[in-house]
Amino acid sequence: MKTLVWITTARGNSFEVSLPAKYKVCSKCEGTGTHVNPAVDGHGLNLSEMDPDFQESYFRGDYDVKCSECHGERVVLEVDVRALKPKTLAALFRAQDEAHAAQVEAAQERRRCGGF
């Protein structure tokens, strides 16, 4: 099984590679295929804010929507790093590190400019 992964280099070049993959339980819905609509609890809720009727509906799943990560499939593909050759694994980690560094730099620049 393979999955397509977009890799962006430090120079901004993006390319797609096909890498060995395996299924894992979706971390967003924890394998249920659904989660609470973010419009309902996206900013967090606590029991003291819920009246008894809302609480019952909430925990019954009345406000659930199809998972936005796995689209209800309950699993997602992830790169199977154990199946990668050492050079490929090193290149993947390097690309991930570069992408992360670019995101951090962009966030710092937004903060310097007063934007979020």
| pLDDT tens per residue across span 21-56 | 999 999 999 999 999 999 988 777 888 888 999 999
Please give the model's pTM, rounded to 2 decimal places.
0.62
Which secondary-structure segment (H or E) carries 41?
Answer: helix 38-41
Co-location of 98 and 65 in the same domain: no
- C-alpha closest to that of 24 among 82, 74, 67, 81: 74
Helix, strand or coil for residue 70? coil
Co-location of 20 and 35 in the same domain: no
The answer to whether residue 5 scores a pLDDT higher than 70 is yes
Taking residues 1-28, what's their average pLDDT?
84
Q: What is the pLDDT of residue 115?
A: 62
The answer to whether residue 77 scores a pLDDT higher than 80 is yes
Co-location of 106 and 81 in the same domain: yes
Count of domains forming the chain: 2
Co-location of 86 and 53 in the same domain: no
Co-location of 108 and 84 in the same domain: yes
Co-location of 31 and 62 in the same domain: yes
Q: What is the pLDDT of residue 116?
A: 58
- The upper half-sphere exposure of residue 38, i.e. CA atoms within 13 Å in the direction of its Cβ, equals 7
Contact of 22 with 77, CB cutoff 8 Å? yes
Domain that holds residue 21: 1-26+76-116
